[in-house]
Amino acid sequence: MRVLIIGASGQLGSALRHTFADHTLLTPSHRELDMSQPQAIKAVRELAPDVVLLPGAYTNVDGCALDPERAFRENTLGPKYVALACARRDVPLVYVSTNEVFSGVATTPYREYDQPGPINAYGRSKWGGEQAVLQHAPTAMVARVAWLFGGQRNFIRTILRLASQQADTGQPLRVVDDEVGSPTYTPDAALAIRQLVDAGIPGIYHLVNAGHCSRYALACAALQSAAIDAPIEPITSAHFSRPSTPPAYTPLINSAAAALGITLRPWQSAVEEYSGMLALERTA
Ligand SMILES: NC(=O)c1ccc[n+]([C@@H]2O[C@H](COP(=O)([O-])OP(=O)(O)OC[C@H]3O[C@@H](n4cnc5c(N)ncnc54)[C@H](OP(=O)(O)O)[C@@H]3O)[C@@H](O)[C@H]2O)c1
């Protein structure tokens, strides 16, 4: 099977490359295939994929807030062009989306049938991408993930790096405790996406590790798994100013995937594996 991955160099894209390595992989770089340009329709068709995986996106949420027009081009128009290319030949498409399509004002975790209501430019552009994909390629699958970790740049890596840097100063790490979500380990999400492709049933899917926590609780779990004894202190997001406002409460529940027998392990187990691995890397 010819598997086209758009955004293959990214965090989730790298895990997808690994998970689909037994197939013929087509992994154009951003420069070779810029999905935000209409020429992407022709470029995707010419690659003649049997399936298209689309983790690619403009993921800089603060950048999206500062340049919403770029967010729209990359995250809404881009997926639309890819969907148009797939629809013409009925090629299955998996579009990766985000917890940030939700407003975060709920008090219980979001399911696939809950109404999105993004509160920032990144979330609006990704929701626009979902709608464009489902409109133009009705047989597509939308896979919402959240709080990704597993690659080279992510929250857990940052926490472990800062903890080692601050060990000498004695200053505590300060991490927000009022943003709650569902951490997602990229190898687990990639495997679930492979299972989705095998199932081939269109629609919206949440694919996060089971359970949820605050950023502070996630940082504590990562430090513990890496056996780093660093002082850490919870703060509220009011202390942490940034261009984009993240939704406060966006845990997801994987109801639609569970109905197909696709389950992801609890986030604590995934964090333990990943942070333990990073700790070994650091001492090697
Ligand atoms: N990171 C998270 O915590 C998180 C949370 C929820 C949902 N998501 C979603 O999950 C997906 C994967 O996220 P990630 O963190 O793995 O992303 P990432 O590491 O930032 O990688 C994004 C990839 O997309 C490529 N790309 C960007 N614009 C493109 C364009 N116009 N045409 C073609 N390729 C383009 C990038 O190439 P270059 O690097 O060369 O520009 C890169 O390979 C995204 O759709 C994101 O919205 C992420």
The pLDDT value given to residue 157: 95
The pLDDT value given to residue 6: 98
The pLDDT value given to residue 159: 95
Give the structural domain span for 130.
2-149+184-209+252-264
The pLDDT value given to residue 124: 98
* CB neighbours of residue 82 within 10 Å: 30
Q: For the segment 177-235, what is each residue's pLDDT rounded down to a tens digit?
A: 999 999 999 999 999 999 999 999 999 999 999 999 999 999 999 999 999 989 999 99
Task: Please provide the distance, in angstroms rounded to a whole number, between the alpha carbons at the two ends of the chain.
Answer: 38
The pLDDT value given to residue 279: 85
Residue 57 Cα to ligand 1 middle (Å): 4
How far apart CA 143 and CA 196 sit, in angstroms, is 9
The pLDDT value given to residue 280: 85
Residue 30: alpha-carbon gap to chain centroid: 18
Atom number, ligand 1, closest to the C-alpha of residue 60: 20
Mind telling me the catalytic residues? 122
CATH number at residue 73: 3.40.50.720
**Binding site membership of 13 for ligand 1 (Cβ less than 6 Å):** yes
CATH number at residue 223: 3.90.25.10
The pLDDT value given to residue 166: 80
**Binding site membership of 74 for ligand 1 (Cβ less than 6 Å):** yes
How far apart CA 202 and CA 148 sit, in angstroms, is 23
The pLDDT value given to residue 92: 97
The answer to whether residues 71 and 127 belong to one domain is: yes
The answer to whether residues 110 and 165 belong to one domain is: no
Residues in the chain with pLDDT < 70? none
Atom number, ligand 1, closest to the C-alpha of residue 36: 31
Q: Which protein residue has the closest C-alpha to ligand 1 atom 12?
A: 55
